[in-house]
Amino acid sequence: MIRISPPWKGPRADDIWALYYFLLYKMLPFAPEDYLPIDSRGAYYYPNGDRTKKKRYPTAHKKFKLTKTSQDILSKAKVPAPNTPEELIELVSPQLHQYLYQNHTVQREKLRELLTTETDGKTIQAKKLEFSAKSALSKLLLTQIFNYDSFSRQNLFPQLVQMTGVEVCPYCNRSFTTTVRTRKGEYHRQNQVDHYRSKSKFPWFALTLPNLIPACGNCNQKKGDDEQYVLYPYQEEFGEQYQFHTTPISSTAYLMGQMVKPDEFEVTIERVGPVGDPDYDQRVQTSIEKFGLDVLYRESHNAYVCAIFEQRYIFNNAYLDSLIDSFPGLFKSREEARQLLYMKRYDAEGLGAAPLAKLTHDIDEEISRLYMDKKP
């Protein structure tokens, strides 16, 4: 697992928020001033989320309307159908109602907090954002307000996903998750969007921007929605603590870049250094198990790993130094020259740019340790 930088804090943050609020404005059944950014003249948004356009002050907002299915469910249960978002919230979760409303007025900063908070465990516990809702039915009803289907069906949603800049699945670091743009300017997603806190257990976070994680379809499906939490990729990663290693099984020829048999070594994920935060370690184990990372990396990438050994054996430090001498100013270090040979960046910022960058980084470090006494 790799860490992805929170796009709402990055260089495109203003553009992302503008588009995000515009998409909310199209479908969220609250008064716009309850969640839109506000200035001296009242709440505003940018037409089409485009900050180059003049900001606009909302006139009307999306009316609240229950779907036919929800009405049927309620009438079978002989419960009067709510007419407003507040009535619905009060019906399904008095806790959430108490949090969001005071004297029947939406607490603007609370609603904005729900929509913009990071959803890692520490933050939502500290902010007391775990509410109980009465039943699975109630949670279904809450999706009438925090309606991800309607949010994500909008034409501009793929553009929002594209603006997050997530190129490779943060969970497995194996698949591209790019959103591409056609010549006509249309955005096509090659990804799914995972809800870090699931829609079914935390329906009030279904639209929360920091809860949306672009990921590959495999990982999104494997993750499921039980109470076991994986690492929160906007903050956490395997990093230096958990690294890929090779363990010889039937031969050590691969160390010289020659693999005699395909199963002569095994790639494993291991903790490096002293034991740290047990909660973090637990989430790492959950991540490995849920996404099947140990199996995926053990079964799929031996030929690739062997090629890294081969590269290091052939393009040794003396060779890299000669490259650096031949192209003065092109490389700042051997590391940089080596990354070019791998055609892959794997420094902290580059891990999310190419599949298998983390594996490449870790095996390269392993080789450095193995060769330490042999190379200048």
Site residues for Zn ion per CB under 5 A = 169, 171-172, 216, 219
- Nearest distance from residue 276's CB to Zn ion, in Å? 25
CA distance 360 to 376: 22
Q: Which of 314, 313, 298, 211 is nearest to 263 (CA)?
A: 298
> What contacts 339, CB < 8 A, 6 or more positions away?
345, 346, 347, 350
- Which residues in the chain belong to E strands, given as ranges? 38-39, 42-43, 101-102, 105-106, 179-181, 187-189, 192-195, 212-215, 242-248, 265-271
Q: How far is the CB of 45 from Zn ion (least distance, A)?
A: 33
Half-sphere exposure of 307 (CA within 13 A, CB side): 10
Backbone dihedral region for residue 325 (phi beyond 0: left; psi -120 to 50: alpha; all else: beta): alpha
Q: State the nearest-atom distance from the C-beta of 359 to Zn ion, in Å.
A: 13
The residue (of 34 and 194) whose beta carbon lies closer to Zn ion is: 194
Tokens for 254? 């691969």
Which among 140, 122, 290, 147 has a CA at the least distance from the CA of 205?
147
By residue count, the chain amounts to 376
Shortest Cβ 93–Zn ion spacing (Å)? 32
Q: Which run of H or E residues covers position 113?
A: helix 108-116
**Closest distance to Zn ion from the beta carbon of 141 (Å):** 32
Nearest to 204 by CA among 125, 115, 312: 115
Which residues does residue 349 pair with via DSSP β-bridges, in sequence order?
Answer: none
DSSP 79-103: -PPPSSHHHHHHHH-HHHHHHHEET
Supply the minimum distance, in Å, between the C-beta of residue 4 and Zn ion.
12
- Report whether 223 contacts 234 (CB < 8 A): no
Minimum distance of Zn ion from residue 241's CB (angstroms) = 20
Tell the smallest beta-carbon distance from residue 213 to Zn ion (Å): 10
Question: Considering beta carbons, is residue 203 or 352 the nearer one to Zn ion?
Answer: 352
Q: What is the largest CA-CA distance in the chain?
A: 81
Residue 185 structure tokens: 């300017």
Least distance from C-beta 177 to Zn ion, angstroms? 8
Q: Is the dihedral of CA 343, 347, 350, 352 positive or negative?
A: positive
Beta carbons within 8 Å of 367's beta carbon, 6+ residues apart: 308, 309, 312
